[in-house]
Amino acid sequence: MNRDELKKMISLIDDDKLSEADAGEAKQVRPAGRTFWRKSALIAAAVFLVTISVYLVWALSKPGLWPFEKTNPATTSASTTETASMPVPRWDELEVQEQYISGAMINGIEYQSSVRAIDASLIETVLGSLQLSGYDFYADKTHQIEATYYQVKNIDPDCVVAVRYEGYEGYYGFFNSGYQFKTLDDLITRLNLPVHMQLNNIFIHNIWQGETQKELLRWDYYSLPDQKIVWDILLANRAIINEGESARYKLGWEIMSISIDYAPAGQSNIGIVLFDNGYLCTNILGSLQSFYIGKESVMAFRDYVLENGTLNKSISLETPGETTVPESYAGVATTQETTKSNIHTRNSLQQMSN
């Protein structure tokens, strides 16, 4: 392999990996929390008092002059602006579970951290202790903290453990997103889903139109009087093999998604998704678990929801009205017709996107 091939090779990294690498965003501007504004207000007040004091001293010593001609308002605004534009929260503004987010290596398994506390009643035996690290961006310093990890009641510790930070109350779920569940039963049993998977009673039906193009028209949100049907139809055949990531490119059209929480791993509003070609997928533990449950089961479930559910809301794609397309796009064909130059551009772009 030579240099050009090496560069080419990097350009051929799969889409899913590129998306994954873009998913973990850096912490953005901290939402306007009380602590932040309190600090800003204190700093602004302090600067204001200093300015007023300086002015009074100056005014009293130089009677007869207009003080405002001499004060420099930039001093005040510069100080407050600098404080207000801090892009990342300070280390001491973070809760302990937000500080130590680098995950953990336990018995050679990489666990991801979560920031939602686990109910203390679920905590069982101590499994061991470990050291966790966190990075203070401002001080360019890596902090370490001792922690203890525990078994969570009836959950396989190879999948999820609870961590308590030394000197702090509360337990937080750490999960192994790489765990390979063999079957649906394996997933249900190891994670104790009958107890811990919460169905949020939101069933979203995707309405498609047409056989070939299948433009998405709208999403209908249903709730059900009894959600046991999820277990009866979708999760009944537990012997089904988990195809995991390898099924990603086999998945058909998404026809229904179900909102769920899995509290032991700190996950909320994640999903079970049904595809028209018979696949059921979920992103429990942050990775794709895929099961072919069959078209009949998928359609039977969809029909049940449509017949027995309550339609709570519908969201449609807005009809395109005003366009914000830059002028440079004016003249681009707005129909399916393709001009010669478009064909050329398309071909070269397809090449580029390979």
Partner 1 sequence: MDDSAIIDLYWARSEQAISETEKKYGKLFHHIANNVLRNQSDAEECVNDTYFGAWNAIPPARPLYLLAYLGRITRNLALKKYYHIHAAKRNPIVTVSFDELEECLSDGHSNDLLWSDDQLSDCINRFLEELGSDSRKVFIRRYWYFDSVKDIMRRYQMSKSKVESMLFRTRQKLRAWIKEEGL
Where along the sequence are the contacts to partner 1 (CB under 8 A)?
A: 1-22, 24-27, 88, 101-103, 110, 112, 134-135, 137, 140-142, 177-178, 213, 215-216, 248-249, 254, 317-318, 320, 323-326, 328-329, 332-336, 342, 345-346, 349-350, 352-354
Among 132, 128, 124, residue whose Cα is nearest residue 156? 124
CB of 256 to partner 1, least distance (A): 14
CB of 128 to partner 1, least distance (A): 20
CB of 125 to partner 1, least distance (A): 27
CB of 255 to partner 1, least distance (A): 12
With residue 352 as reference, give the H or E element that holds it: helix 340-353
**By C-beta, is 8 or 238 nearer to partner 1?**
8
**By C-beta, is 10 or 239 nearer to partner 1?**
10
CB of 283 to partner 1, least distance (A): 14
SS3 186: helix
Q: Are 77 and 51 in contact (CB under 8 A)?
A: no
Tokens in use for 44? 């602004």
**By C-beta, is 61 or 324 nearer to partner 1?**
324
SS3 130: strand
CB of 324 to partner 1, least distance (A): 4
**By C-beta, is 13 or 57 nearer to partner 1?**
13
**By C-beta, is 111 or 222 nearer to partner 1?**
111
Q: Are 120 and 76 in contact (CB under 8 A)?
A: no
| Rounded-to-integer distance, Cα 33 and Cα 41, Å | 12
**By C-beta, is 13 or 115 nearer to partner 1?**
13
- What are the residues facing 336 on neighbouring strands? none
Supply angle C-alpha 234, 238, 241, rounded to 5: 100
Residue with tokens 């308590």: 164
